[in-house]
Amino acid sequence: MFLIYCPYCEEHREEEEFHPKGQAHIARPADPEACSDKEWGDYLFFRDNPRGIHHELWVHAVGCRKFFNVTRNTVSYEILESYRVGEQPRFTAEHPEGRPVETVAAENVTAKAEVVERQEGVKA
């Protein structure tokens, strides 16, 4: 049984409250109409399936019902971190011991600023 930390509820809860939703960080093609069959097929059907560190989307189905990301080892099943949608992972295949917290925090601040900018763009 996993104990999963929900970054929105800020609590560890039992696996039963959550559903796994597949690979995280999949970007929808910006212009789907312009995709080749190859690009569109890759986007729809091809997923990372590593032995080792994997970034995945989970939903706190019977909790706050929010989606968030988890970094988990698919062999040992160890959960290395949970982080909000829009944020970047600390633990990656290249950095299994974790990148410095400050680097990740700085990235996330920039990412947030970009999102706000895009949303304001939409309003205008």
Partner 1 sequence: MQRYSGFGLAKHTLSHHENWERQWRNPTPKKQYDVIIVGGGGHGLATAYYLAKEHGITNVAVVEKGWLGGGNTARNTTIVRSNYLWDESAALYEHAMKLWEGLSQDLNYNVMFSQRGVMNLGHTLQDMRDIQRRVNANRLNGIDGEVLTPEQIQEIVPIMDCSKNARYPILGASWQPRAGVARHDAVAWGYARAADALGVDLLQNTEVTGFKIRDGRVYGVHTNRGDIEAKTVGCVAAGNSGVLAGMAGFRLPLESHPLQALVSEPLKPILDTVVMSNHVHGYISQTDKGDLVIGAGIDGYNGYGQRGSYPTVEHTLQAIVEMFPIFSRVRMNRQWGGIVDTCPDACPILSATPVKGLFFNCGWGTGGFKATPGSGHVFAWTLAKNQAHPLAAPFSIDRFHTGALVDEHGAAGVAH
Provide the binding-site residues for Zn ion, judged by CB under 5 A: 6, 8-9, 60, 63-64
Pairing of strands 53-59, 67-73: antiparallel
Of partner 1, Zn ion, none, which one does residue 64 interact with (CB within 5 to 8 Å by kind)? Zn ion
Rank residues 23 and 108 by Cβ distance to partner 1 and give the closer one. Answer: 23
Assess contact for 43 and 29: CB atoms under 8 A: yes
Binding site for partner 1 (CB under 8 A): 1-2, 15-16, 19-20, 22, 37-38, 40-42, 44-47, 49-51, 54, 56, 72, 74-77
Q: Tokens representing 107?
A: 């990235």
9 binds, among Zn ion, partner 1, none (CB under 5 to 8 A by kind): Zn ion
**Dist. CA 30–CA 96, nearest whole Å:** 30
Q: Would you say 73 or 108 has its CB closer to partner 1?
A: 73
The H or E element that residue 109 is part of is helix 101-123
